[in-house]
Amino acid sequence: DAMVIQNPRYQVTQFGKPVTLSCSQTLNHNVMYWYQQKSSQAPKLLFHYYDKDFNNEADTPDNFQSRRPNTSFCFLDIRSPGLGDAAMYLCATSWGQEYSGYTFGSGTRLTVV
């Protein structure tokens, strides 16, 4: 089945130690998104790629970076994780049309110790 896969499901990292979360898709969607979701809150968009074009949200901290080496893969890099970065990170994909909706992965739960 076509899907969005996030690895790992659970990630524990040390305070200040760089960490990378990965997302892959078999849907061949144009757009890939990264959302941060803290406990009992709405998902918050960090950035997205339309093909190779990167779009950063204005309030996304510089500590968060992203790479999309090809259509299928997208990575979220946190350069120096702080305790406040502990959250669920959700990857989503879409065709990029306003009515298409997203397909989400199962998320990566990041813990910072």
Partner 1 sequence: AQSVTQPDIHITVSEGASLELRCNYSYGATPYLFWYVQSPGQGLQLLLKYFSGDTLVQGIKGFEAEFKRSQSSFNLRKPSVHWSDAAEYFCAVGSSSNFGNEKLTFGTGTRLTIIP
Interaction site with partner 1 (CB under 8 A) = 4, 6, 30-31, 40-43, 45, 48, 50, 53, 55, 88, 90, 92, 94, 96-107, 109
DSSP label of 84: G
Cα–Cα–Cα angle for 18, 55, 108, nearest 5°? 40
Provide, rounded to whole angstroms, the least separation between the CB of residue 103 and partner 1: 7
Provide, rounded to whole angstroms, the least separation between the CB of residue 72 and partner 1: 18
Provide, rounded to whole angstroms, the least separation between the CB of residue 35 and partner 1: 8
Strands 108-112 and 10-13: parallel
Provide, rounded to whole angstroms, the least separation between the CB of residue 18 and partner 1: 24
- Residue number, 13 or 94, with CB nearest to partner 1: 94
Secondary structure string (H, E, C) spanning 23-70: EEECCCCCEEEEEEECCCCCCEEEEEEECCEEEECCCCCCCEEEECCC
- Residue number, 28 or 80, with CB nearest to partner 1: 28
